[in-house]
């Protein structure tokens, strides 16, 4: 085989590989887009819309950020601030109130909200369907619970819902970030995500 022919074969192989990579990435983005176009990713699983154990009777709803009322968004921000501000301040990131509020209200944000018998929110998960390192993922940004509902299985239940929704929307995995110095959360997620 002549030098020019080998060069041509390699060029064709590289071109084909680039086309395959583009097609694979297009498929990843299509899955994320399809998940984001759902009206209610939890809708197909009505049994997971109730949490009735350990003395709690909660309803779980799944909503886009644009569909949440301002009172619920303000509650979610204040709960996040109460639970997380000190941990952020102890990290190299620091607490940036404006940035956290923008993150929580980003148009791509989805929420699982747990409400008590009178409709008051008591826990939430902020998540997004997204692409992370070339993979289609359900990215969990926050799992926040009021003190009165902690250690009763609510957090684990909400994380299980995330896993269920990730599977049903063909996401490759659930991804999240935990501060190294937040040992309680680290242990919780290691246990809950098994």
Q: How far apart are CA 171 and CA 147, in angstroms?
A: 31
Number of domains present in the structure of the chain: 1
The domain of 98 spans: 3-192
C-alpha dist (Å) from residue 48 to 4, 5, 16, 170: 62, 61, 45, 19
Q: What is the pTM of this model?
A: 0.87
b vs e for 57-74, b when ≥16 Cβ sit within 10 Å of the residue's Cβ? ebebbbbebeebeeebbe
CATH code for the domain in which residue 44 is found: 3.40.630.30
Inter-helix orientation angle 154-168/183-192, to 10°: 50
Q: What is the pLDDT of residue 1?
A: 55
C-alpha dist (Å) from residue 50 to 59, 66, 183: 5, 23, 29
Tens place of pLDDT for every residue, the chain, 194 residues?
555 566 677 878 888 888 888 888 888 999 999 999 999 999 999 999 999 999 999 999 999 999 999 999 999 999 999 999 999 999 888 999 999 999 999 999 999 999 999 999 999 999 999 999 999 999 999 999 999 999 999 999 999 999 999 999 999 999 988 777 776 776 767 776 66
By C-alpha distance, which of 160, 167, 113, 110 is closest to 137? Answer: 167
């Amino acid at each position: 085989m002549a030098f020019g022919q080998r060069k041509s074969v390699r060029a064709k192989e590289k071109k084909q590989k680039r086309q395959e990579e583009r097609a694979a990435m297009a498929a990843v983005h299509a899955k994320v887009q399809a998940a984001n176009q759902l009206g209610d990713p939890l809708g197909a699983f009505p049994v997971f819309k109730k949490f009735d154990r350990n003395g709690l009777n909660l309803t779980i709803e799944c909503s886009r950020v644009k569909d949440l009322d301002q009172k619920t968004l303000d509650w979610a921000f204040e709960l996040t601030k109460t639970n997380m501000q000190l941990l952020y301040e102890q990290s190299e990131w620091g607490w940036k109130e404006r940035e956290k509020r923008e993150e929580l209200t980003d148009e791509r944000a989805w929420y699982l909200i747990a409400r008590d018998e009178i409709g008051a929110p008591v826990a939430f998960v902020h998540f997004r369907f997204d692409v992370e390192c070339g993979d289609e993922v359900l990215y969990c940004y926050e799992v926040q619970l009021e003190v009165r509902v902690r250690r009763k299985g609510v957090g684990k239940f909400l994380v299980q819902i995330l896993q269920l929704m990730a599977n049903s929307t063909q996401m490759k995995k659930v991804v999240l970030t935990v501060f190294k110095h937040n040992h309680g959360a680290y242990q919780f997620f290691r246990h809950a995500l098994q």
